Amino acid sequence: MAITKFITSSALLIALFLALVSLGCSPPPMKVIEAPVPEPLPLVEENTAPEMVVEEAGVMVESQTHTVEIKNDGFQPQSVTITVGDTVSFVNKNTVSHWPASAVHPTHTAYPGSDITKCSTSEKEMIFDACAPLKAEDSWSFIFTEKGSWKYHDHLNPRFTGTIIVE
């Protein structure tokens, strides 16, 4: 009889436990909360401020961009005086292609480090050589970092020449 009472009591306790669990003694269901979608950041315009260059005297100055147009009668202006760190932009204003590059034709080696053989290498961006013809209205720019008087020419029409004087 004691065993029967024990089994009955145990069965009642198990039944009571199961009833409590099924009646809500378990944790409440989780509520899904959607995170708000952040607003897109406004587009930031590219910095259009001029580059700064350190002069030898340690003074910061703004670099300048100088334009040389290539026309049917050659480079205009033919000679440009600039400061170390300035950029010269060559713009083809002719209907035929032109290829500005450091003198001497055909090697393009007058400006330090320049050489037409570097056009197909990783050094291409560091040489005074467009490395390809500029079609009408195309442009190519170069930053001059070496002082001196640097002659240049049109690789496709070597009689067109000019000089960049870097002070």
Quickly name the fold that domain 63-166 has. Immunoglobulin-like (2.60.40)
The whole-angstrom separation of Cα 72 and Cα 83 is: 28
The residues that bridge with 140 in the sheet, in sequence order, are 90
**Per-residue model confidence as pLDDT tens digits over 96-118:** 999 999 999 999 999 999 999 99
Domain ranges of the chain: 63-166
Q: What is the predicted pLDDT for the residue at 62?
A: 83
The whole-angstrom separation of Cα 130 and Cα 114 is: 11
Q: What is the predicted pLDDT for the residue at 146?
A: 97
Query: How far lies 166's CA from each of 11, 57, 80, in Å?
Result: 101, 16, 8
Residue pair 125/113 in contact by the 8 Å Cβ criterion: no
The whole-angstrom separation of Cα 120 and Cα 42 is: 39
Those residues of the chain that have pLDDT short of 50 are: 44-50, 52, 54
